[in-house]
Amino acid sequence: MRARLALQVSGIDFEHREVVLKHKPVHLLALSPKGTVPVLWLRGPDGEKVLEQSLDIMLWALRQHDPLGWLPSADADMADALDLIAHNDGPFKQQLDRYKYPNRSGLQSGLADRDAAALWLHKLDGRLRAQPFLAGEHFGLADAGVAPFVRQFAHTDPAWFAAQPWAALATWLAAFEGSALFEAIMHKHTPWQAT
């Protein structure tokens, strides 16, 4: 989702190929043997390049064209954004996965991981009480890098999420889910078939 967000905002023309991971296309595996998504295949006069991480795709797209100023201009602000995303992609993502799918980790319940992840979400809520977005005064790289994962967390048990004392976080998430950008990237695509 966050790779699509950055590609959409950058205005870069690209071909979207929706794949069913249970039936991975040969071409996907040829480009990226790990067989996960997203994968961005770049072809140009300097040859081909494959980006296999959503953050790498975001940064590449925004460095090509960043009309909304998502990339922080100050080094300290960029470091802050990347720190938030690193925590999101590391400890929070692991806790989220164990919360959503406890049986995959041999757990009877994901509640301990839910509660551990909630500590970080409370910190994000504190940040959002002090400023409108994680990135500051406008939606930016940190917001786009984190919001899809907070959304997954919220949708795992919506009633529990709604009952938590993190009004600023809930408002921020609702604004993201209600945005035209979110709507633009979430329409369904027919799975791609090799011809």
The boundaries of every CATH 3.40.30.10 domain in the chain are: 2-67
Amino acid letter for position 72: P
Q: Is the pLDDT of residue 173 over 90?
A: yes
**Percent of the chain whose predicted confidence (pLDDT) is above 70:** 99
The three-class DSSP label of residue 179 is: coil
To the nearest 10 degrees (0 to 180), the angle between helices 167-177 and 111-130 is 90
Q: Output Rg (C-alpha) for the chain, integer angstroms.
A: 18
Residue 56 clears pLDDT 90, i.e. is over it: yes
pLDDT in tens, 89-119: 999 999 999 999 999 999 999 999 999 999 9
- Token pair of 2 as six digits: 């966050």
Architecture of the domain whose range is 75-181: Up-down Bundle (1.20)
CATH 1.20.1050.10 positions along the chain are 75-181
With CA atoms as reference, report the closest residue to 15 among 44, 51, 39, 34: 39
Decide if pLDDT at 194 tops 90.
no
What pLDDT was estimated at residue 47?
Answer: 81
CA distance 113 to 91: 10
The stretches of 11-157 forming alpha helices (DSSP H) are: 26-31, 54-64, 75-87, 93-100, 111-130, 141-156
Backbone angles phi, psi at 42, to 5 degrees: -105, 130
Q: Which CATH class is domain 2-67?
A: alpha beta
pLDDT reading at 30 higher than 80 = no
What band does 195 get if pLDDT is binned at 50, 70 and 90?
low
- Mean pLDDT, the chain, integer: 93
